[in-house]
Amino acid sequence: MIISSRDGLVDVKETINNVVALAEAFRPVEDVRVSAAGSKNKPKIELVLSGDRLRPDELNLFLSSVQDIPADVMILADTSSVTPF
């Protein structure tokens, strides 16, 4: 799928693959959720990574590596290891 944004045309599949590849440099990706990102005409990509949370230095490096990608990227907490009440 290709969408138009203020940055030009965005190939959503390629964008998702690029974000996942960058994330997998830090942790295996357990889940990827994609939705529209409001009026910005770019995808919202939410990632669930396995293992420990990213350290602050890892998170900063990841966020700086995706800042020029035409997507809103968020890392969600892995709730599979959380014990329910």
pLDDT digits (tens, 9 = 90+) for 9-68: 568 899 999 999 999 999 999 999 999 866 567 889 999 999 999 999 999 999 999 999
| Crossing angle between the packed helical segments 12-24 and 56-66, to the nearest 10 degrees | 160
Q: Is residue 81 over pLDDT 70? A: no
Domains of the chain listed by start with CATH number: 2-77 (3.30.300)
Q: Is residue 82 over pLDDT 60? A: no
Q: Is residue 83 over pLDDT 50? A: no
What is the spatial distance between Cα 33 and Cα 20, in angstroms, rounded to a whole number? 11
What is the spatial distance between Cα 35 and Cα 43, in angstroms, rounded to a whole number? 6
Overall average pLDDT of the 64-73 stretch = 93
